[in-house]
Structure 1
Amino acid sequence: MVSFLITLCLFKETVPKRKIVPRPRRARVASTASEDTLVDGKFLLFNEEPVPLRDLFVYPVIISISNYVSIAFLNICMNALVPLFFAMPIEIGGLGLDPPTIGLTMGMYGIGCGTFQALFFSRIVRRYGEKRIFMFGVFTFIPMFAMFPVISLVARHYGLCTRVWILVTIFLSILAVMDLAYGCIFMYITASAPNKRSLGATNGLSQTTVSIARAIGPAMSTSLFSISVEKNILGGYGVYALLCFISVLSLILASMLPAKVWEEKEDCSYHDRTLVSE
């Protein structure tokens, strides 16, 4: 309810209500327009048209969405494994934590992650750039997946000691840093749209595609976790080795992004908006 009220009162609609009015005979037309809108006594002419869906399959859109899918897949696998890892008995590769402890741990992570994003995201991106931050976010999956067996082995030898909780804190801190990559890839996706009238279609395509990855990820990661433990693959840690390998492939894919977010096209057919007064 709080989120709804904030959105209702503070968010600005991207497509404002517009009243179509007849054009006066003496109105001068600066360019061919698909829509005429009266704004503050002036006519606002839009020279942008949404592109067909097939025209969205261009390199900037494809590479941006592909990277979004890769990081969302790795992240959803991580989100499925973390509570499973926390809950499983120490003897089979987990930490054996009870539900209240797991909830408290993840709740503290959520608060810390949100605070970190709000205070430092814009500063970090301005200093290092979107591509570097995104690639670093993808890279963090490699040490995070590698930390699962390390934490498990420490717990097996020493129990739930201070060392384990220090490692868990480091792990969740890295996970919070990884979330910086989401803001960066959203910027790439938004900028990759052919024009502003195609933002909805571009984001819709990205969300549809990433939903498939988010449907596959949890089932695959948890199933592989069970198989790794049951078959004792790499000492029961085979799932983490596979996910580390996928993380490396995702890092290669991330390197294909441009150094700077896609620049807006100068073509007036995409971005030309002209105010014409009577």
Structure 2
Amino acid sequence: MAFISFWLVYPNLQETLQKSSLFADTTNRNKTSKQIITDPVVCKILSAYTIWANNSTAMNELMVLYLWTDRKNGGFELDPNEIGLFLGSSTILIVLFQKSLASFIIKKLGLATTTKVTTFLAIPILLLGPFASFLNQTQLAKWLVLRLIQMSWITVNIISFTAISCMSNNSVVPGERGRMNGLFMTSASLAKAFAPLLIGFTFANTVKSGMIFPLNYSFSFYLLALIEVLMWAICSRLPVSLNHPKEKQGFQYIEFKTFSKA
């Protein structure tokens, strides 16, 4: 479905086709889809975006399985109503972080640094996730621990997504953004389709395996943490020039050189 949607929409992407006098010197040199995706910087951002899509979807699936699994196997043994209430209330947190905290942090740190920090912080959150099972003996402790894990993950996840999305648009000129966004959405759709299969298969085969820690129910968390390490390594190599749109990056460089000589 992702491929079909992309090829149906692609020919009519007005942003890709339109020309502007402001960028008249670059529209004739717009890259093809192949050239865009093979650009080293775009390739890194695409890889990070794809991993984000995979881990974001996988973590949502994992939380449901983790909440539903009985306590003897490391879960929280919540009923469907409790799971629905817990996940539904997270929508408020998403709006809060997206509107206030995300924009504040990105403004202070810049897109590139923000991505490095948030992807790094996601690693210990995933590593500590399984230990919540040891604190779920009382109703109050259970909800506090679950909410802390969920809030922490939502925070870094939303901020990472916002920063990576902005950098992806900054990696190409305006005339190429239609193609670039189509490629990114296709890749993310495939990752989101693969994530439930990955996490479902992994969790189902480890939660009742009888294996010792960390090869039991916690293995799924550590698998996602390992994937997150790869994402952090990629984001750590993204240039700070992505803090600005590509059409302005050259001007930023010229201004910096002029100021330095002065």
Could you tell me the TM-score, scaled by structure 2's length?
Answer: 0.78
- 2:194 alignment partner in structure 1: 216
The 3-state SS of whatever aligns with 1:95 is coil
Among 179, 182, 185, the residue aligned to 2:164: 185
> Structure 2 stretches of 5 or more lacking a match?
1-12, 251-262
1:79 counterpart = 2:60: yes
Question: In percent, how many aligned pairs have the same letter?
Answer: 22
Among 246, 250, 261, the residue aligned to 1:264: 246
- State the aligned residue count: 228
1:198–1:227 distance in 2 versus 1, CA, 3 Å: same
Among 151, 175, 191, the residue aligned to 2:132: 151
1:204 counterpart = 2:186: no
The 3-state SS of whatever aligns with 2:246 is coil
Equivalences for 1:67-216 in 2 at 5 Å? 67-155=48-136, 158=137, 160-178=138-156, 179-193=158-172, 195-216=173-194
> Structure 1 stretches of 5 or more lacking a match?
1-13, 17-33, 37-42, 269-278
1:53 counterpart = 2:53: no
After superposition, the C-alpha distances for 1:37-80 in whole angstroms (9 at most, x for unaligned) are xxxxxx98945144222221211211111111112211111011
1:88–1:190 distance in 2 versus 1, CA, 3 Å: same
Letter in 2 for 1:173: M
Structure 1 stretch 217-226 or stretch 253-262: which is displaced more? Answer: 253-262
Could you tell me the TM-score, scaled by structure 1's length?
Answer: 0.74
Q: Quick check: which one's helix share is greater?
A: 2
Q: Quick check: which one's strand share is greater?
A: 1
The 3-state SS of whatever aligns with 2:208 is helix
1:35–1:79 distance in 2 versus 1, CA, 3 Å: closer
After superposition, the C-alpha distances for 1:160-201 in whole angstroms (9 at most, x for unaligned) are 4322222112111112211111110011110112x2111110
- 1:30 alignment partner in structure 2: none
The 3-state SS of whatever aligns with 2:194 is helix
- 1:22 alignment partner in structure 2: none
